[in-house]
Amino acid sequence: MSAGFSLSRVAALMVKEFIQMRRDRLTFAMIIGIPIIQLVLFGYAINLDPKRLPTLIVAADSGPASRAIVAAMEASGYFQIAPGLASEAEANEALIDGSASYVVTVPAGFERDLVRGTRPQLLVEADATDPAATTNALGALPQILASALKRELTGPLTTQQSVPAAVELVIQRRYNPEGITAYNIVPGLLGTILTMTTILMTALALTREIERGTMENLMAMPATPFEIMIGKIVPYIGFGLVQVAVILVCAQILFHVPMMGSFAVLLGVTFLFIGCNVTLGYTFSTIARNQMQAMQMTFFWFLPSILLSGFMFPFRGMPDWAQVIGSALPITHYIRSVRGIMLKGSGPADLVGEIWPLVAFWLAVGTLALFRYRRTLD
Amino acid sequence: MADGRPENVVIDIHGLTKRFGDKTVVDDVSLDVRRGEIVGFLGPNGSGKTTTIRMICGLLRPDGGSGTCLGLDILRDADRIKRQVGYMTQRFSYYEDLTIRENLDFVARIYDLPDRVAVVKRTLERLGLYQRRDQLAGALSGGWKQRLALAASVMHQPKLLLLDEPTAGVDPQARREFWDEIHDLATDGLTVLVSTHYMDEAERCHRIIYIAYGKIVARGTVDEVIQSSSLSTMIVSGRDVGAIAKAVRDQPGVEQVAPFGNDLHVVGPDPALLKTAVEAALAASGSDAVATAGETSLEDVFIRLMQTAQAADQPGNGKAKGEASP
């Protein structure tokens, strides 16, 4: 009787499976929620051709031609020109802390040289840490320049138009001159790998105790919720730091990613980031009823962390609402910090804008976890 | 036995009530336990034994009632109570993926025991597990797991030990040794509240409390509980007890009929009526079996208590109200 194929047996299993699925509301929500969220994120938030990138102008000369060039850049949609002019030092700082993606420098005597036809230089420096974010804009630049000059060089200057390029465009891809993708990906990977592993580890921390029946015993012992939380997250911070070391050594050996900044700063930021993650995972485990749910929550968190953090797709290409969500994720600030430290040599002062969100996030989820932790079996 | 001076009252609770949704699981339970006593907590499955124990040690918040445990308020001082209470859960709740020594070490650290290494070593030796200290706890048999759990829950020298069905699924010898250990601990002044389903274990307690459907329905020593039930028992011995059982079951004055091998225990509240019923059944069956007066056992009393509690519970049963939330 046991051999062969019984529809009744298959039906028994299917019915049981459906009943269990329906009882597990979180799984059910995920089945509905994940496709919707993915559709929205991929459909609306991701933009491989980022526009309106913040641009500073450093002008030692000013005149109709340079104004026309700046206006044309703005009109192209790729560049968002900051009002006013910046000093060279300010512009450099803005590139390092990431508040500007481009700096356009108009050298002294630009207008005069243009009229004379001696091909003045126009220097455009781009933050090339993320090649994907800058390639399109830089590619469009010669065309923008040509059409701006065409309108400007009229009358007696029309002859200059015939010269293939009246202005010598000098493009500097800062921090990643060769546009090597790995330089950008490795810091991002550091963030995503840590997000996945460290959140998952602690997300299972309490649910495993509940599933194995050891939670009741733990609760009957005189350990406070804070002690339990600290005891559960600290080992995983150590675990995360080991992972970081492995990734960094590989990054160095396999991809030759430069290390411009200090290891101490990198360690400090990494500690904060791992702290955020393990505490978040612990918070998940105070909410989830079993390990399965804890894993699903981790996955749910992982999705926006990959898509909205600037890891896979340029952050500045996303609409405002997606940038707001992205800014709430610790990984966004961590990836920016690591790119800054490794590629630009950023120090703590340059990273203040990335550090405080990490600290705030950590404190917030830690408080939530303590609030969520149930001291009784009720 | 300890007297009623306040320092000797270990558990003193009044009107303890716990509801899960619509269902009242523990209903107005009051009990007191004195120092050095071993009190058996009995009752059918789902009668509220575990829930009561969990409320005493602060794992559940009562919905009503008040009380003290070791002189501390069970509602406000749960944290301080936990330090002085040993609790052994129904299911083995130490870490199966830790070794025996690692488990004990963990517990010793949690309770901040001074001289931890020595305490753990002593515990291992007393358990007879010193040679196997590096074995995973998950690899132990049921009896050894239970001994480990007991050792771990008394390592911090609690004043009160709460045991929730500690011997479920353990062989008779291991159970006997377990109870010898419990008596040793009680002699040293430890107070024990132990829930069980086994009658022989109930008989090893100084006092028993019987709870059914969340209410205490009997308490006292084993003899007192049997006496207060005022049940009589007739034992029918011989062949064909099966046929006699059928015949006697519907007779007036017969409450319980239970075959024990070649014997048949017939229990009823009125001795005269019971005797008449049994004799009538014997005569009707034409069997050569003989009926003699027997001792009423604790089990007979418990089944009676359960049945009467069930009958009392049915009319106003919370279960009848609406569906439980999914």
Give the relative orientation of helices A263-287 and A291-307 as an angle to the nearest 10 degrees.
140
Distance from CA of A376 to the nearest CA of B (A): 5
Tabulate helix, strand, coil % of chain B (nearest 5). Answer: 40, 25, 35
Contacts of A374 in chain B (CB under 8 A): none
Taking CB atoms and an 8 Å cut-off, how many pairs form between chains A and B? 49
- Identify the pLDDT of residue B324: 36
Same domain, B152 and B290: no
Contacts of B326 in chain A (CB under 8 A): 23
Integer Cα distance of B187 and B37 in angstroms: 9
- Identify the pLDDT of residue B8: 86
Kindly state whether B325 is in contact with chain A, defined as any CB-CB distance less than 8 angstroms.
no
Tally of CB atoms within 10 A around B76? 11
φ, ψ for residue B80, nearest 5 deg: -75, -30
Same domain, B203 and B265: no
In angstroms, the Cα distances linking B151 to A98, B120, B142, B188 are 61, 10, 14, 15
Domain count, chain B: 2
Q: Which helix (H) or strand (E) element contains residue A363? A: helix A352-372
Q: Which of A228, A183, A180 is nearest to A206 (CA)?
A: A228
Same domain, B81 and B110: yes
| Within a domain: B316 | no
Kindly state whether A223 is in contact with chain B, defined as any CB-CB distance less than 8 angstroms.
yes
pLDDT 10s digits, A304-343 = 898 888 888 888 888 889 899 999 999 999 999 998 999 8
Kindly state whether A23 is in contact with chain B, defined as any CB-CB distance less than 8 angstroms.
yes
pLDDT 10s digits, A219-231 = 999 988 899 999 9
DSSP notation for B12-74: EEEEEEEEETTEEEEEEEEEEEETT-EEEEE-STTSSHHHHHHHHTTSS--SEEEEEETTEET
Among B226, B245, B270, the domain-final residue is B226
Integer Cα distance of B56 and B85 in angstroms: 10
Tabulate helix, strand, coil % of chain A (nearest 5). Answer: 70, 10, 25
Kindly state whether A217 is in contact with chain B, defined as any CB-CB distance less than 8 angstroms.
yes
Contacts of B146 in chain A (CB under 8 A): none
Write the DSSP symbol of residue A155: G
What ipTM was reported for this prediction?
A: 0.83
Out of A213, A216, A222, the one facing B59 most closely (by C-beta) is A216
**Residues with Cβ within 8 Å of residue A133, at least 6 apart in sequence:** A50, A53, A101, A314, A315, A316, A317
Paired residues of B196 in beta bridges: B42
- Identify the pLDDT of residue B113: 93
Kindly state whether A211 is in contact with chain B, defined as any CB-CB distance less than 8 angstroms.
no
- The CATH number covering residue B270 comes to 3.30.70.100
- Identify the pLDDT of residue A155: 65
Contacts of A378 in chain B (CB under 8 A): 60-61
Same domain, B37 and B147: yes
Same domain, B65 and B161: yes
| Within a domain: B263 | yes
- The CATH number covering residue B219 comes to 3.40.50.300
CB atoms B326 and A23 under 8 Å: yes
Same domain, B74 and B91: yes
What is the domain range of residue B178?
6-226
- Identify the pLDDT of residue B37: 94
Contacts of A220 in chain B (CB under 8 A): 57-59, 82, 85, 87, 89
pTM as predicted: 0.81
pLDDT 10s digits, A164-220 = 577 888 888 888 887 787 888 888 888 998 998 899 989 998 899 989 989 999 999
- Identify the pLDDT of residue A341: 92
Same domain, B105 and B251: no
Q: Give the sign of the dihedral formed by CA B69, CA B72, CA B76, CA B80.
A: negative
Integer Cα distance of B220 and A315 in angstroms: 74
- Identify the pLDDT of residue B326: 36
Same domain, B145 and B37: yes
* Residue in B closest to A219 by C-alpha: B59
| Within a domain: B37 | yes
- Testing the interface with A: which of B63, B110, B157 to mutate, by most A Cβ within 10 A? B110
pLDDT of A162 > 80? The answer is no
Kindly state whether A376 is in contact with chain B, defined as any CB-CB distance less than 8 angstroms.
yes
- Identify the pLDDT of residue B318: 42
pLDDT 10s digits, A244-300 = 998 888 888 888 888 889 999 999 999 999 999 999 999 999 998 889 889 989 988
Strand order in the sheet with A79-81: A79-81, A53-59, A102-106, A121-127, A168-174
**Residues with Cβ within 8 Å of residue A141, at least 6 apart in sequence:** A73, A124, A169, A171
Residue type for position B40 = G
* Residue in B closest to A225 by C-alpha: B79
Integer Cα distance of A238 and A244 in angstroms: 10
- Taking CA A200 as the corner, what is the angle to CA A197 and CA A201, rounded to the nearest 5 degrees? 85
* Residue in A closest to B87 by C-alpha: A220
CB atoms A221 and B111 under 8 Å: yes
Element counts in chain A: helices (H) and strands (E): 15, 5
Kindly state whether A20 is in contact with chain B, defined as any CB-CB distance less than 8 angstroms.
no
Out of B60, B89, B91, the one facing A378 most closely (by C-beta) is B60
| Within a domain: B16 | yes
Residue written as tokens 């569906």? B323
Tokens of A31: 């089945």
Q: Which of A136, A99, A251, A246 is nearest to A183 (CA)?
A: A251
**Residues with Cβ within 8 Å of residue B20, at least 6 apart in sequence:** none
Tokens of A162: 């015939």
Same domain, B237 and B222: no
Same domain, B141 and B281: no
Distance from CA of B220 to the nearest CA of A (A): 29
Stretch(es) of chain A classified as CATH 3.40.1710.10: 53-174
Tally of CB atoms within 10 A around A9? 11
- Taking CA B113 as the corner, what is the angle to CA B111 and CA B117, rounded to the nearest 5 degrees? 125
Distance from CA of B250 to the nearest CA of A (A): 42
Q: What is the CATH superfamily name and number for domain A53-174?
A: abc type-2 transporter like domain (3.40.1710.10)
Write the DSSP symbol of residue B7: G
* CB proximity under 8 Å: B 69-98 to A: 78-79, 82-83, 85, 87, 89, 91-96
pLDDT of A84 > 90? The answer is no
End-to-end CA, chain A: 46
Alpha helices in A181-309 (DSSP H): 181-212, 214-220, 225-255, 263-287, 291-307
Integer Cα distance of B214 and B212 in angstroms: 5
| Within a domain: B308 | no
Residue type for position A118 = T
Kindly state whether B260 is in contact with chain A, defined as any CB-CB distance less than 8 angstroms.
no
Same domain, B132 and B276: no
Question: What is the mean pLDDT of the segment spanning A16-24?
Answer: 84
**Residues with Cβ within 8 Å of residue B138, at least 6 apart in sequence:** B96, B97
Same domain, B89 and B181: yes
Residue type for position A298 = T
φ, ψ for residue B67, nearest 5 deg: 165, 175
User: What's the whole-number average pLDDT of chain A?
Assistant: 87
Q: Which of B89, B79, B22, B82 is nearest to B49 (CA)?
A: B89
- Regions of chain B with pLDDT less than 50: 1-2, 316-326
In angstroms, the Cα distances linking B203 to A187, B39, B179, B206 are 69, 10, 11, 8
Write the DSSP symbol of residue A221: T
